[in-house]
Structure 1
Amino acid sequence: MAIDEATQTNGVPEPEAGQLKKEEAQKSQWSVESVLTELNLTYAQSTTSPTPFFHLLERLKTTPRAGWRRFGITSCESISDHMYRMSILTMMAPSSLSSKLDLAKCTRMALIHDMAESLVGDITPVDPVSKEEKSRRESETMDYICTTLLGRFNGGLNGREMRAIWQEYEDSVTAESLFVHDVDKIELLLQMVEYERSQDCELDLGEFTWVAQKIQSAEVKGWAEEVFRERRDMWREKGRTCTWRANTEPKE
C-alpha cells in the first residue's frame, strides 16, 4: 500500500505532523469491535441482505470532516458531503482526461474512498495516529464492511468489487486512482474558499493551500489555480490579506 500517498489533508500544512512512530502505532488497541461496542452500534452480520450496510452508511452523513472543526466551524461538512461533490467533480473531467480514464470507476471510487471513516472517523495529521495505523484501521473496517456485512449478499460480488476499488484508491498506482486523489484535493480547496467566504474573510484557512502542490494532473492543477485566483480577489475586495503556503499564491 502506498502509505505516503494516503490522503490525510484535512488538517495542517505539514503531512508528517502529529504522527506516532510505527512501533507506537502497533500498540494500539483499536478494532472494529471496540468501536461498535463504544458507540453502541449493532449491525446484523453475515446476512444475505444489504440492509445492515445501508444503515452503516448513515454514519457518513452525520460524521463531520474533523479538520474544519479546529477553526471553529462547528456546522461543517460531513464525510458524505465531501464524497458527493467529489463524485460530481469526476464527471467533469475534460476530454483530455476522460479519453484516458474509466470515469464510471472514478465516480464509484470517489463515493467509496472514505467509506472506512464511518467507523474510523476522519483522522487528520494533528491526531496522534500514524499513517501506518490509520491504514490498518481503515483496511480492517473495509474488510468488516465488504466481508462481514456484505459477504453473503449477492454471492459477495458487490462487497468484493467495493473492496477492490477502495484498495485501488489506497494503492495510488492506476490513472483512475491518481485522478481521484487530485479530485480529493481540489474538493478540499473549494471548501476552504467557501468557508472563508461564509465568514466574510474573517477566517483565514490559508494553511490548507499547500495541498495544491500535491495535485498531479495539469487539468486539476488548472482548477486549483482558478480557485486560488478567486480566493485572492475575494480577499482583496474585502481589503484584507490572506496567507498562502508552499508558494501557492497566484502570480499577477
Structure 2
Amino acid sequence: MPEASERNSVLSEQPQWTPELAIPNSILALPAPLSFFRILRFLKTQRRTGWLDRGIESRNAESISDHMYRMAVMCMLAPQEDELDSRKCAMIALVHDLAEAVVGDLTPSDPVGPDEKHRRERATMNYLADLIRPLNADAADQLYTLYIEYEEMLTPEACFVKDLDKFEFLLQTVEYEMDVVEGKESKDVALADFFRAKAKIKHPLVKEWMGQLDEERKRVVGL
C-alpha cells in the first residue's frame, strides 16, 4: 500500500474539479441555451443521495428537481404579513440546488469536504450564468445573485426558503416512513435522526406547518 505522502502526491497531481470536466463533451459542444437546458435535465434524473444512503429504493427516491419543485409551490404561501415576495421566494427555491445538476448531491458523508463542495457549487453557478449571459444578461445575473442570496441568507426571502428547504426534507422523510409502515419500503430504512433538522426551523409559519407534520407522524407512524 502506498505511503500517505505518496497518496497525497497522486491526489495533488489530479486536475482541480471544474464544471467543464464534469459536463459531458456532447453537451459542452452544444450552443446555448440548448446546452443549458440539457444540463438542467440532470436535476430530473439525479436521485437525492441522502435517501439512497438510507436504503430508500432508487425507483422511489425523489430527484433533485422533485425537491425544488415542491418547495417552489410552497413559496406561494409565503405570509403577506411579513411582506415576503412570494415570487422571489419561488425563484430562490428553483435556483438554490441548481448547481447539483453538475456537482451532484453531495452529503456530509461524501469524501468531498464542505469547503470544496461550496467551491464547486459556486464555480458551477458562475459557469451557468456565463453560459446564458450572451443571450440574456439580466437572467444570468439573477441566477447567480439569487443563489448567493440563499447561500449567505442575505434577505428575509432567503431565510424563509432556507426553512422551507428543511421542512420539505422532513415532509419527505415522514412520507418515506409512511411507506415503510405500508410495506412499500424495507423496515431496515431508518430516518428518525433526520428530525434533528427540525430545531433549525425559525420562521413561525414553517414551525406551525412542522407542528402539523409532527402530529401526523405520531398518528400514522407512531413516532
- Gaps of at least 5 residues in structure 1 are 1-23, 237-241, 243-252
* 1:60 maps to amino acid: L
Cα 1:206–1:41 shift into 2, 3 Å: farther
Identity across the alignment (%): 41
Paired residues, what number? 205
Q: CA deviation at 1:34?
A: 2.0
Q: Does 1:153 align with 2:135?
A: yes
Aligned equivalent of 1:229: 215
Q: Does 1:169 align with 2:150?
A: yes
Aligned equivalent of 2:192: 206
RMSD: 2.0
Aligned equivalent of 2:68: 83
- Tell me the distance in 1 between the aligned counterparts of 2:75 and 2:150: 14
Q: CA deviation at 1:40?
A: 4.7
Aligned equivalent of 1:31: 18
* 1:67 maps to amino acid: G
Secondary structure in structure 2 of the residue aligned to 1:42: helix
Q: Does 1:118 align with 2:101?
A: yes
- Tell me the distance in 1 between the aligned counterparts of 2:198 and 2:81: 20
- Gaps of at least 5 residues in structure 2 are 1-10
Aligned equivalent of 2:124: 141
Identify, as 1 or 2, the structure richer in helix.
2
Question: Could you tell me the TM-score, scaled by structure 2's length?
Answer: 0.85
Q: CA deviation at 1:56?
A: 1.0
* 1:214 maps to amino acid: K
**Segments of 4+ in structure 1 off by > 6 A?**
none
**Structure 1 residues 197-222: Cα deviation after superposition (integer angstroms, max 9, x where no partner):** 11216343111101111111111011
Q: Does 1:95 align with 2:80?
A: yes
